[in-house]
Every structure is written in C-alpha cells, then in structure tokens.
Structure 1
Amino acid sequence: MQRTELVIFDCDGVLVDSEPLAAAVLAEALRELGFAADEAFVYRHFLGKSVATMRRIFAEELRWELPADFVDGLLPRLQRRFRDELRAIDGMAGLIRGLNVPCCVASSSSPDRLHLALELAGLLPLVTPHVFSATMVPRGKPFPDLFLLAAERMGAAPGRCVVVEDSEAGVQAGCAAGMRVIGFTGGAHAASPAHRAMLEAAGASAIAASAAELPALLGLGEQ
C-alpha cells in the first residue's frame, strides 16, 4: 500500500446524515409535478450524483423534462429541512481532528448546500477552505473529474489519496481516479446489507460502518 497523502471525504451520507432528508424533499417535489417518486426511487437514480447529472438522467433516461426553476425552488425547502433536522455523522469531527495527513471534501452538492450542511453540522471550520463541489468540473460522479481536481488542488498524487464514499457513483469515481476507496455505511440510508454489497461491487476496497472503524482502514498509523 502506498503512503497516504490525502483523505478525501464525500459530504452527504459520510460527514453529515443528510441523504434521507434530501431524498424526502426531492421525492415530494417530484410528486407535486405529477412524477411518481419515493425515497427509494431517488436513491436508486440520484444518490451521490450532481444536479447536472440528475437533469441529464431525467431528460435522456426517464424522458421527463424538469422545469427550469425546479432546483431553485427545491433549495429553500431543503435548507429548511436541514436547519430543523441535519446532524453530523457521529464521530466524524473527532476523526478529522485526529488525522495526521491533510483532508478535504469533494461532493456532488452545490457550494451553497455544501456550506450550509457543513456549517449546521459544526464541521465547516475543520475543512475550510478545502471544499470542492461538482459544479467546479465538467463531469460529476461517477466520472473521476472531481476527485482528480481535489487531489491536484491539494498537491497529492491520485495513487496516494484515499476516498471515503457512501454511494455507488462516488466509489466508481474514486476508483476511476486511481484512488483507494473506502465505502461508508454509517448514514441512515446505507445500513442495509444490500447497500454494503453495492459499494463492494462498485470497487470499494473496504467498508466502514461508522467513523470509529475508519482510522484502522485508513491505515495512517502505519506511516
């Protein structure tokens, strides 16, 4: 195993337990448009993917055109839900404080959503300014662009980066970037054996069910 130079965390479902909240808000908004959707549909099609990718999936695969102002209308609803219910994943703050290598965040979420989620969870001071959004690259996950950008900006070789991801698209992106990927199932949406199997099939080299399991899997103490 090469020496780890950088740990790259996804945000939603890894640092903050936001995926059930976001899925509920999105499914509700889609139903209001007359599109039959529930949280399971949202997870299946959009977990870990950017807004641009979501629009492409609707247009090309689902043959449904989202209104131009759909995302703008969605954000305030999501922000209200976050302010009422969002919490950090247990143990992540302590894990980040204890790392002996640099870390950053690379997420499919928009910068505004990222900033709010990290701020509400009390994690923003621990990762600022090293927060990267899929809006900064041409292609979102499962393409490697975002992780490669994060590594470049942080001055780390891709082969010496470790990614912590909760989604199939995120694991695929990390693997495509030539990075070691640890699948994370500590979020409320990811606890099932099926989710773990999905992450393993996507290429995760190990699975952590909690923040407490990550230090040993990161292997930083051996450096």
Structure 2
Amino acid sequence: MDPGGPDLIIFDCDGVLVDSELLSCRCLSEVLADFGFELDVEQALELFLGRSTAAIGEYYRGRGQILPDDFLSRLKSRVLETFAGGLQPIAGVGAVLSDLKTPGCVASSSDLDRVALSLEVTGLAPHFETRIYTAQMVRHGKPAPDLFLHAAEQMGAAPARTLVIEDSVSGVQAGKAAGMTVWGFVGGSHYRGRDGRAILSAAGADRVFAQMSDFWKEA
C-alpha cells in the first residue's frame, strides 16, 4: 500500500469494534462446563480467539470428543443474552469511524446475527449499514484469506490497497495471506496481562497499536 493510504479499511468486529472477547470466551467456558467439558477463559482465548464456532467442534473432534447437538445453539443464546445486557464498544472507536474518510466494512468470524447485535447495542451499526461480511459467507474462515478477499471484492477494492484492523493471530494471518496491510489492535480487555504487541507482531502485523486515539499516528 503506497503513502496515499488505503482504498478500503476492513474492521474485525470482536475485540476491534466491540470489547467482546472476554465475554464470549466466558460464555464458551460456561456452556462447555454445562456439558461436562472443562475449558477455562484463558484456554478459550488461546485456542479460539478470532476463530469461528466451527473451530470449536473441529478442536474437540480432533481430541476424539463430540459436542452435543444443541451445543452451538446453547452457546449462541448465551452469547446473545450476555451481549444484549453488557457489551461495550472499544473506547474511542466511534470517533475513529465518524472521522473516517476511507470506505470501511466489517469482516468477522462471528455469525451475522451476533455481529448485527454487537453493532446495534453499541451504537456502531450506522457506520456500516449492510457492509458486514462473516465467515458464513465463505468456505474457509480465518486464518484462511477467504473472508477478507470476499469483503474486498464486494467493496470493489484491490487487496494490495486494503487495510485490515485485527486483534487475533488468526485474523492477522488471514489478512497477510490475502495480500493486505494489517494493523494489530491490542486495546481490548482480553489483552490485559498479555503481551499483545509481541503476539500480533510475531503473527505478521505491519503495525500494532493499543488505543483508538492513535489510529492514524505513525501510520
């Protein structure tokens, strides 16, 4: 991407627009416990941060364990209920979106219902309207590049002219595999006590920042 700046900015949702990662991992840990599976919040973050719910089933199948048929529906209900009652936007992200001159969209591993609710309850929905793309729309989720390439195609932007904002290793890897510039964001509550800068830099992020007020600084 040349100094003229990007033609498109793709925002991940969880952990970038809304401070949801700890909430969703707590929900996952609780619902798994309901079915007799032990997984604490830290383990959930390590295993599934930035991944779709399909990755949860794949993980347990790889361990020779099968999740109950109603696991995903129970998890979805718990997450939606939790988000409706207490989800907050990332501090300062509303100002960034309001000042944005570059076209933007959302590309998330979460399903469309969850993304729509997240943006609605945090007041961010008007910034994106229908420009929301999810893992349900492509064959392979992050860390594969499919979702970001799909979003860029729908928005009419070349990958080399696209900037991705991500908070997870799988998201950073997906953006880089798509041939895009990727900035890692580590301002979500799930990075408290963790060296997010080192984690996302090692994954290939072109830049890592921790406050939305620094969005364009040193860019």
Query: TM-score with structure 1 length normalisation?
Result: 0.94
Q: Which residue identity is paired with 2:23?
A: L
- Mapped pair 1:58 → 2:68: no
C-alpha displacement of 1:194: 2.4
- Contact map agreement 2:22 2:189 (CA 8 A) in 1: yes
SS in 2 for 1:128: coil
C-alpha displacement of 1:192: 3.7
C-alpha displacement of 1:98: 0.8
- Contact map agreement 2:31 2:74 (CA 8 A) in 1: no
Counterpart of 1:184 in structure 2 is 185
RMSD, aligned CA: 1.2
Counterpart of 1:156 in structure 2 is 157
| Residue pairs, 1:117-128, within 5 angstroms | 117-128=118-129
% identical aligned pairs: 46
- Mapped pair 1:74 → 2:79: no
Counterpart of 1:138 in structure 2 is 139
Query: Alpha-carbon deviations, 1:43-101, whole Å to 9, x = none?
Result: 011100011222212212x3221112211111121112112210000111110111111
SS in 2 for 1:105: strand
Q: Runs of 4+ in structure 1 displaced over 4 angstroms?
A: none
C-alpha displacement of 1:193: 4.7
- The whole-number CA distance in structure 1 between the counterparts of 2:192 and 2:205 is 16
| Residue pairs, 1:1-223, within 5 angstroms | 1-2=1-2, 3-60=5-62, 62-217=63-218, 219=219
SS in 2 for 1:170: helix
Name the count of aligned residue pairs: 217
Q: Which residue identity is paired with 1:26?
A: L
- Structure 1 residue runs of 5 or longer lacking an equivalent are none
Deviates more, 1:141-150 or 1:92-101: 92-101
- The whole-number CA distance in structure 2 between the counterparts of 1:191 and 1:148 is 31
- Structure 2 residue runs of 5 or longer lacking an equivalent are none
C-alpha displacement of 1:215: 1.8
- Contact map agreement 1:8 1:105 (CA 8 A) in 2: yes
Query: Alpha-carbon deviations, 1:163-203, whole Å to 9, x = none?
Result: 00000000000000000100000100023452221100000
Query: TM-score with structure 2 length normalisation?
Result: 0.96
- The whole-number CA distance in structure 2 between the counterparts of 1:208 and 1:192 is 16
- The whole-number CA distance in structure 1 between the counterparts of 2:192 and 2:150 is 30
Deviates more, 1:117-126 or 1:193-202: 193-202
- Contact map agreement 1:190 1:196 (CA 8 A) in 2: no
Q: Which residue identity is paired with 1:196?
A: R
Q: Which residue identity is paired with 2:104?
A: C
Query: Alpha-carbon deviations, 1:118-166, whole Å to 9, x = none?
Result: 1001001111110001000000000000000000000000011010000
Mark the CA change 1:4 to 1:55 in structure 2 (over 3 Å): closer, same or farther. same
Q: Which residue identity is paired with 2:45?
A: Y
- The whole-number CA distance in structure 2 between the counterparts of 1:198 and 1:30 is 26
